[in-house]
């Protein structure tokens, strides 16, 4: 690993600014969780925390709770990857299409047409329900269907997405 250094002074409140170049290079956005560790020898390490494992864990519980009420495929995604779904052998994996990440960032449910949004699914629609908290968007729950979700499905998925976001807020 190549070392690059910039010297910053600690202000009167004990804060330092992480330079914009470092934030861009490491894709650190406002609200992202950062971990600080003090090492032997006086070194302090700051690293971006990846909440995908926590989202996957809490998302698993959410999918288990939804299963008796929704007979459709529901997936959980971070802002970069599909994490898990109820789709069995046709489960989504890999990189998340930009259209889904953008829909999640809007903080409100939205419905995408799968083939137009670059989503590899045989169903026509993907309804995106953002999972978010006070610090930003963590990912989304995505409901796949051949029809636009009805009001009951919308209410249920939006409520579960908010609960998942609240569960992740503590991390």
Query: Average pLDDT in the 139-143 region?
Result: 95
- 77 touches 96 (CB < 8 A): yes
Q: How much is the pLDDT for 1? A: 47
Alpha-carbon separation of residue 163 from 25, 32, 130, 169 (angstroms): 32, 19, 11, 10
- Could you report the per-residue pLDDT of 39-68, keeping only the tens digit for each? 998 889 888 877 888 899 999 999 999 988
The terminus-to-terminus CA distance of the chain in angstroms comes to 28
User: Any long-range contacts for 144-152 (C-beta under 8 Å, 24+ apart)?
Assistant: 144/72, 144/73, 144/74, 144/75, 144/87, 144/114, 145/72, 148/111, 149/111, 149/125
**Cα 95 to Cα 78: distance, rounded to the nearest angstrom:** 10
Global pTM reads 0.76
- Could you report the per-residue pLDDT of 88-117, keeping only the tens digit for each? 555 677 899 999 999 999 989 999 999 999
Assess whether pLDDT exceeds 80 at residue 160. yes
Q: How confident is the model at residue 29 (pLDDT cuts 50, 70, 90)?
A: confident
């Amino acid at each position: 690993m190549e070392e690059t250094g910039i010297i910053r002074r600690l202000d009167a409140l004990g804060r330092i600014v992480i330079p914009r170049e470092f934030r861009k290079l490491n894709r650190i956005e406002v609200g992202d969780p950062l971990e600080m560790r003090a090492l032997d020898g006086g070194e302090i390490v700051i690293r971006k925390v990846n909440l995908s494992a926590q989202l996957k864990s809490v998302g698993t519980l959410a999918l288990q709770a939804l299963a008796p009420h929704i007979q459709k495929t529901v997936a959980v995604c971070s802002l970069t990857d599909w994490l898990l779904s109820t789709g069995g052998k046709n489960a989504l994996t890999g990189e998340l299409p930009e259209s889904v990440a953008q829909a999640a960032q809007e903080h409100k449910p939205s419905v995408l047409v799968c083939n137009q949004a670059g989503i590899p699914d045989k169903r026509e629609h993907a309804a995106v329900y953002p999972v978010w908290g006070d610090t930003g968007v963590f990912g989304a729950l995505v409901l796949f269907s051949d029809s636009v979700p009805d009001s009951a499905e919308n209410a249920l998925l939006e409520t579960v997405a908010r609960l998942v976001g609240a569960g992740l807020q503590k991390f």
